[in-house]
């Protein structure tokens, strides 16, 4: 399942950008990254052996809810006017931290602790799909977090593209970095859309995911290459066709129309 591996692929994409050479400004709340890392470490300790038992920590436990609040906190990056290219490094670290927690839910009861270990498992898709359903509240928060952080990444990149000098943009490492960010953005949104089609999720869960997914459409319409936009349009249209809920269907159709220009 593409959605099952999207978080790990995105981490690899962002990590390859070597953004640590950039200095983060103060507009992104600097305190959220260390708080997220501390919470994630505590969550991992609580989730020990969940890959064997299938019992990952649930947000219904107030202590776990507080940890998830810290890991998936994206309140400081929801205003697109406050994100700069210089903040992509810390944002990518927060994405990595969030994926660290999301993967625990994906792999609960699978017997493995790394998504790459499921590459040759013919039932990998089924196992992860079942975990998305089993841990729907927590996975919903994870997908929303991914969309919001990825949206901030795109915002920061678009800001930089609007102000950068042509000679800077022509550098091979900058072109490679932009290609990686585009690929990561497209993959992240594709994974979220594909997850909507997993049988067993409620219509309410799907409806709750759409605001974060829909918010990506105008950003990606400005940022992605034509072939990437065409693929996402096709995917959103196909997913809309199989949706029974009118609200979700319309939101996906609107996404397709926006991304397709």
For the chain, domain boundaries: 2-259
Strands (E), the chain: none
DSSP string of 36-58, one letter each residue: HHHHHHHHHHHTTTHHHH-----
Distance CA 98, CA 144 (A): 11
Distance CA 106, CA 110 (A): 9
Q: Strand, helix or coil at 20?
A: helix
User: What pLDDT, on the 0 to 100 scale, is given for residue 82?
Assistant: 65
Distance CA 214, CA 35 (A): 28
Please report which helix (H) or strand (E) contains residue 229, including its range: helix 226-242
User: What pLDDT, on the 0 to 100 scale, is given for residue 79?
Assistant: 66
Instruction: Return all residues near 127 (Cβ < 8 A) that are at least 6 apart.
Output: 109, 110, 118, 121
> Could you tell me the pTM of the whole model?
0.88
Instruction: Return all residues near 213 (Cβ < 8 A) that are at least 6 apart.
Output: 147, 189, 192, 193, 251, 255
- The set of long-range contacts for 44-48, using a CB threshold of 8 Å and a minimum separation of 24, is 44/100, 44/101, 44/104, 47/104, 47/108
How do the pLDDT tens digits run along the chain, 261 residues long?
A: 344 444 334 333 333 333 333 333 336 888 999 999 999 999 999 999 999 999 999 999 999 999 999 999 998 887 655 677 778 888 999 999 999 999 999 999 999 999 888 888 899 989 999 999 999 999 999 999 999 999 999 988 998 888 889 998 899 988 998 999 999 999 999 999 999 999 999 999 999 999 999 999 999 999 999 999 999 999 999 999 999 999 999 999 999 999 987
Report CA dihedral (131, 250, 210, 7) to the nearest 10 degrees: 60
User: What pLDDT, on the 0 to 100 scale, is given for residue 7?
Assistant: 39
Distance CA 57, CA 72 (A): 15
Tokens 């990606």 appear where? 220
| CA 178 from centroid of its chain's CA atoms | 17
User: What pLDDT, on the 0 to 100 scale, is given for residue 174?
Assistant: 87
């Amino acid at each position: 399942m593409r959605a099952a591996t999207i978080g790990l692929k995105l981490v690899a994409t962002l990590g390859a950008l070597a953004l640590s050479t950039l200095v983060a400004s103060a507009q992104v709340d600097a305190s959220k990254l260390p708080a997220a890392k501390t919470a994630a470490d505590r969550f991992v300790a609580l989730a020990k052996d969940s890959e064997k038992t299938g019992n990952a920590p649930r947000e219904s436990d107030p202590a776990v809810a507080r940890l998830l609040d810290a890991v998936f906190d994206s309140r400081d990056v929801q205003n697109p006017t406050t994100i700069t290219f210089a903040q992509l490094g810390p944002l990518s670290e927060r994405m990595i931290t969030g994926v660290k927690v999301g993967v625990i839910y994906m792999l609960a009861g699978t017997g493995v602790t790394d998504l790459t270990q499921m590459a040759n498992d013919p039932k990998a898709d089924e196992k992860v799909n079942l975990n998305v359903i089993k841990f729907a509240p927590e996975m919903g928060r994870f997908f929303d977090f991914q969309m919001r952080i990825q949206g901030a990444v795109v915002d920061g990149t678009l800001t930089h593209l609007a102000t950068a000098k042509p000679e800077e943009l022509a550098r091979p490492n900058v072109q490679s970095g932009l290609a990686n960010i585009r690929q990561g953005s497209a993959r992240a949104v594709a994974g979220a859309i594909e997850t909507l089609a997993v049988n067993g999720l409620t219509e309410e869960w799907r409806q709750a995911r759409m605001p974060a997914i829909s918010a990506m459409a105008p950003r990606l319409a400005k940022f992605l290459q034509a072939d990437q936009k065409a693929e996402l349009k096709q995917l959103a249209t196909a997913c809309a066709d199989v949706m029974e809920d009118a609200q979700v269907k319309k939101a996906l159709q609107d996404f397709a129309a926006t991304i397709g220009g």
